Amino acid sequence: MTVTLEIWAERLDNALDIYTRLVEEELANADYAELSEESKQYLDECCEHRLDSATRPGEVLAARINELYLEAREKEAVYIGQAREQEQTDWGNIVTETASIREAARRVHTAGFEVGPDHDNSGYVLPEEMCPASLVSMNAGSAPFTVDDRVTQYEAFARHFDVTSAVVYYPGSGHDVSPSAAFPGSRVVYADVDAAAMDDLDKAGYETVWADATAHELETGADIILFQNAGLMEEPIVTRNLREGGWVLANNHLESAEHVAALEAVELVGVIPDENRRIINTSNLDGYLSRISTEPESAVDPDSQPPLTKGSSLDTYVFRAKYL
């Protein structure tokens, strides 16, 4: 499997190399005839002969990089899924074996984006259709925002468990700064591979880390780690960064809560339901995750199960690290 991952990483890196050359030589928006024979040959091979005299090289190559990115991340996801199915626990090794894909993906998030001095004049250097970084961004062009529902759930958690946090860590945050509103007295660290999102948050005064969160390690550790629609490799993030007695809050939209629940070092201590975000269920939690409905909300009979045990992918699951 690692050989396959290396091959996909190499394909992505090669496409990024030629993209960088086109941009540096100001040929991304050029006519096909202006390209060198070497560039034409590579583009014809990489882009499966989609280029012709009426097509801009940057647009075709950016689209191909986006395809390669999605395919590479899918290969990585399959590999990680197999590791979870086999109940592998050596997450350090899994992080190492997926490093080539993640580093290539990190390059995509800067392809076509430039950070200005002191973050002034930062931005995408080419139109979206010719900018891989913009094409792969979850919310390109957005500004920092808060989600009221999440703020309410976080505040309910802190109030119920009487938590006063020193460090809150939010990997895969994008532009969401809800934790800063919910934990106003805490140091909140935002981390994301999306360079543009982290630049926007930095300019707005938030503490950011432009990083692949899977391999990143906070220098101080975290009292609270948040996963919201994360789609990350949650296990090594928790293992590397959660302090003893710390908390993890995760929804299950992309199975983050299930992945955290599989860790022996934490235990589920509460669930904040999406339908009533001020209530915390702390009893009868055994098997709660297995009862999460995969059907659309409209297809679920509201009287079939008690509302606090029906389960929703947007419920917030509260885990606490076990004391050793």
Q: Is residue 174 part of a domain?
A: yes
Q: What pTM value is reported for the model?
A: 0.87
User: How far is Cα 104 from Cα 204, in angstroms, rounded to an integer?
Assistant: 28
Q: Is the Cβ–Cβ distance between 228 and 274 less than 8 Å?
A: no
Average pLDDT over residues 1-19: 87
pLDDT for residue 210 is more than 80: yes
Based on the domain organization, do 157 and 306 belong to the same domain? Answer: yes
Q: What's the order of all strands across the beta sheet hosting 266-272?
A: 207-210, 187-192, 167-171, 222-227, 242-250, 316-321, 266-272
Q: Is residue 165 part of a domain?
A: yes
> Which residues are CB-contacts of 107 (< 8 A; sequence separation ≥ 6)?
12, 13, 16
Given 136, 170, 188, the domain boundary residue is: 136
Based on the domain organization, do 50 and 180 belong to the same domain? Answer: no
210 phi and psi angles, rounded to 5 deg: -85, 105
User: How far is Cα 120 from Cα 128, in angstroms, rounded to an integer?
Assistant: 20
Say if residue 160 is exposed, middle or buried (CB neighbours under 10 Å; 0-12, 13-18, 19+): middle
Based on the domain organization, do 117 and 156 belong to the same domain? Answer: no
Based on the domain organization, do 215 and 263 belong to the same domain? Answer: yes
> At what angle are helices 57-85 and 2-24 packed, to 10 degrees?
160
Say if residue 307 is exposed, middle or buried (CB neighbours under 10 Å; 0-12, 13-18, 19+): middle
Q: Is residue 269 part of a domain?
A: yes
Q: Give the domain CATH number at 158.
A: 3.40.50.150
Q: Which two tokens stand for residue 143?
A: 């500004």
Based on the domain organization, do 192 and 130 belong to the same domain? Answer: no
Q: Is residue 141 part of a domain?
A: no
- The tens digit of pLDDT for each residue in 282-291 reads 877 766 666 5
Based on the domain organization, do 179 and 230 belong to the same domain? Answer: yes
User: How far is Cα 55 from Cα 96, in angstroms, rounded to an integer?
Assistant: 39
What range defines the domain where residue 36 resides? 2-136
pLDDT for residue 112 is more than 80: yes
> In Å, how far from its chain's centre is CA 186?
22
Which one, of 280, 282, 290, lies nearest residue 311 by Cα?
290
Given 136, 169, 198, the domain boundary residue is: 136
pLDDT bucket at 307, cuts 50 / 70 / 90: very low
> In Å, how far from its chain's centre is CA 122?
22
Based on the domain organization, do 171 and 317 belong to the same domain? Answer: yes
Based on the domain organization, do 12 and 63 belong to the same domain? Answer: yes
Percent of the chain beyond pLDDT 70? 86
Based on the domain organization, do 303 and 155 belong to the same domain? Answer: yes
- The tens digit of pLDDT for each residue in 48-85 reads 656 665 678 888 889 999 999 999 999 999 999 999 99
Given 113, 136, 159, the domain boundary residue is: 136
User: How far is Cα 136 from Cα 66, in angstroms, rounded to an integer?
Assistant: 7
pLDDT for residue 109 is more than 60: yes
The mean pLDDT of the chain is 85
- The tens digit of pLDDT for each residue in 230-246 reads 888 999 999 999 999 99
Query: What are the E-state strand segments in the chain?
Result: 113-114, 123-124, 167-171, 187-192, 207-210, 222-227, 242-250, 266-272, 316-321
What domain count does the chain have? Answer: 2
Based on the domain organization, do 86 and 165 belong to the same domain? Answer: no
Based on the domain organization, do 173 and 80 belong to the same domain? Answer: no
Based on the domain organization, do 199 and 58 belong to the same domain? Answer: no
pLDDT at residue 58 in the model: 84
